[in-house]
């Protein structure tokens, strides 16, 4: 089943703003050296072997879908809803647009299972792998320690309702929080080599 999803996701063409740039990077990897090491390793290995770009995009989609299903492994009763949301929601469009970011995010979902099981080595290994797909994932390292202190942060039901209200407000009214912290983001992006995205 995962392979069928991966092939279907991989066969899409010109989806989102970045898809054609990733395709060009796959066809001409020597012109696009700016990618993170694990993403570049997969891309360059398949490209140098002369594998069709659909296979490359299918491999990327497989990593994403595998991690998502692995994260939900203890809630298999939700698989039908997950499958519907993969095709009815934004995933179908977005996953081939922000490929590296979404792979890093999906791997982080697997890392969350390590946090819950208190497997610190597994968590840091998976976050390190996430960083290999997108450098911005480095900000995920502290989350293990935040979870350990979760009783201090989320013990209050009122705090949980407040957070729910804030998230709902931001989502419904499309509040652009980035405009408030734009200068800080630009500075951090410059330090990490991502100034081209700002």
- Encoding tokens for residue 121? 């080595």
pLDDT (tens digit per residue) in 14-33: 776 788 888 888 998 877 77
pLDDT of 51 over the 90 cut: yes
- Cβ–Cβ contacts within 10 Å for residue 17, how many? 9
pLDDT (tens digit per residue) in 97-133: 788 998 999 999 999 888 888 899 999 999 999 999 9
pTM: 0.74
Contact 18, 33 (CB under 8 A): no
The better pLDDT of the pair 39, 10 is held by 39
User: Taking the domains of the chain in order of start, what are their residue ranges?
Assistant: 2-149, 156-198
In this prediction, residue 115 carries a pLDDT of 86
Classify residue 69 by its DSSP letter.
H
Gap between the Cα atoms of 73 and 171, Å rounded: 28
Residues 6+ apart with CB under 8 A from 93: 15, 16
Gap between the Cα atoms of 111 and 129, Å rounded: 10
Q: Which helix (H) or strand (E) holds 155?
A: none
The better pLDDT of the pair 116, 195 is held by 116
From residue 147, alpha-carbon distances to 126, 151, 167 in Å are: 16, 8, 19
pLDDT (tens digit per residue) in 135-178: 888 888 888 887 776 665 566 778 778 888 888 887 777 666 66
Q: Which three-class secondary structure state does DSSP give residue 134?
A: coil
pLDDT of 90 over the 60 cut: yes
From residue 17, alpha-carbon distances to 4, 35, 73, 94 in Å are: 24, 17, 32, 9
Longest dimension (CA), the chain: 57
In this prediction, residue 40 carries a pLDDT of 93
In this prediction, residue 196 carries a pLDDT of 52
CA 66 to chain centre: 12
Residues 6+ apart with CB under 8 A from 144: 115, 120, 123, 124
In this prediction, residue 198 carries a pLDDT of 41
pLDDT (tens digit per residue) in 178-187: 666 666 666 6
């Amino acid at each position: 089943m995962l392979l069928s999803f991966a092939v279907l996701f991989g066969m899409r063409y010109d989806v989102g703003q970045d898809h054609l740039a990733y395709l060009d990077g796959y066809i001409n990897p020597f012109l696009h050296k700016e990618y993170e090491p694990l993403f570049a390793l997969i891309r360059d290995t398949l490209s140098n072997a002369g594998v069709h770009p659909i296979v490359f995009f299918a491999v990327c989609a497989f990593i994403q879908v595998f991690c998502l299903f692995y994260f939900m492994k203890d809630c298999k009763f939700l698989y039908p809803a997950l499958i519907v949301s993969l095709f009815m929601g934004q995933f179908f469009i977005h996953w081939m647009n922000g490929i590296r970011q979404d792979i890093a995010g999906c791997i982080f979902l697997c890392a969350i299972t390590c946090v819950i099981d208190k497997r610190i080595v597994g968590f840091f290994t998976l976050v390190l792998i996430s960083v290999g797909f997108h450098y911005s994932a480095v900000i995920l390292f502290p989350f293990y320690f935040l979870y350990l202190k979760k009783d201090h942060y989320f013990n209050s039901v009122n705090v949980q309702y407040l957070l729910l209200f804030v998230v709902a407000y931001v989502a419904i009214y499309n509040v652009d929080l980035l405009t408030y912290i734009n200068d800080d983001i630009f500075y951090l992006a410059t330090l990490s080599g991502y100034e081209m995205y700002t």
